[in-house]
Amino acid sequence: MHHLDIAGLDAHYGKLPVLSGIDLTVGRGDIIGLIGPSGSGKSTILRVLMGLLPPSGGTVKLDDEPVNHADQAALRRLRDRIAIVFQQYNLFQNMTVLENVTIAPVKIKKRPRAEVEAEARALLTKVGLGDKLARYPDELSGGQQQRVAIARALALKPEILLLDEVTAALDPELVSEVLDTIRVLAREGMTMLIVSHEMAFIREVASKVVFMADGRVVETGSPAQIFDAPQHQRTRDFVSKIL
């Protein structure tokens, strides 16, 4: 049984086709590195997985169960199981770090505050911000804010974490602290789909790399296969430019 099974997935924005026949299986604890040129459809795949864009064809299954994108209750259950972190961390500026992490579990999930706070402290310690609980976002660096955003996503206890270019907006010297946080999650066995242009990092952590172009999966393989022995010219061009 696959944790996530995407088969023959098509998606359109209006009449414009943006994903064509995407096949991708993700095992429990797999880390998928999703790479490809800008506009190739990487973010769109993540949007479909979050239930933010209904596919026009194909299926998405979670633990063998098909997701019905027309069923709002099913989409809510989906969003209980999959969380996403974006390039723009969008923290609540008027709330402390701790409040940013606890707000959704307390207000939306109606979970007991004391329990949520204890978990949030542990998560913030894990991402290296145990001493910043009472700070406000504008008192933190971009790398620290992005780590709060990751802790906020983890506070929802997702089974699968989607990371969409989470280091792309950061100053270069702040990138590694966010990658370190992702390494910790990788070691803990979190299933992740990571869209990133940090190719050395993808090579290091990914169990499988998916190269996309023009809304299609061009090539899938181990990091060594994709980076050292790409089979398709399109993949060769991309990895030779970016490494």
> Cβ closer to ligand ADP: 1 or 16?
16
> Cβ closer to ligand ADP: 13 or 92?
13
CB of 73 to Mg ion, least distance (A): 28
Instruction: Residue 143: name its binding partner from ligand ADP, Mg ion, none (Cβ under 5 to 8 Å by kind).
Output: none
Cα 150 to Cα 89: distance, rounded to the nearest angstrom: 9
Q: How far is CA 23 from CA 9, 219, 236, in A?
A: 7, 11, 21
Cα 167 to Cα 85: distance, rounded to the nearest angstrom: 10
Burial string for 198-225 (b: 16+ CB within 10 Å, else e) reads: bbebbbebbbbbbbbbebbbbbbbebee
For residue 149, the SS3 value is helix
Q: By CB under 5 A, is residue 167 in contact with Mg ion?
A: no
> Cβ closer to ligand ADP: 45 or 151?
45
**Which residues sit at the interface with ligand ADP, rule CB under 6 A?**
13, 16, 18, 36, 38-44
Q: By CB under 5 A, is residue 102 in contact with Mg ion?
A: no
For strand 16-26 and strand 31-35, is the pairing parallel, antiparallel, or unpaired? unpaired
Q: By CB under 5 A, is residue 43 in contact with Mg ion?
A: yes
> Cβ closer to Mg ion: 43 or 100?
43
Instruction: Residue 33: name its binding partner from ligand ADP, Mg ion, none (Cβ under 5 to 8 Å by kind).
Output: none
For residue 168, the SS3 value is coil
Instruction: Residue 18: name its binding partner from Mg ion, ligand ADP, none (Cβ under 5 to 8 Å by kind).
Output: ligand ADP
- Site of interaction with Mg ion (CB under 5 A): 43
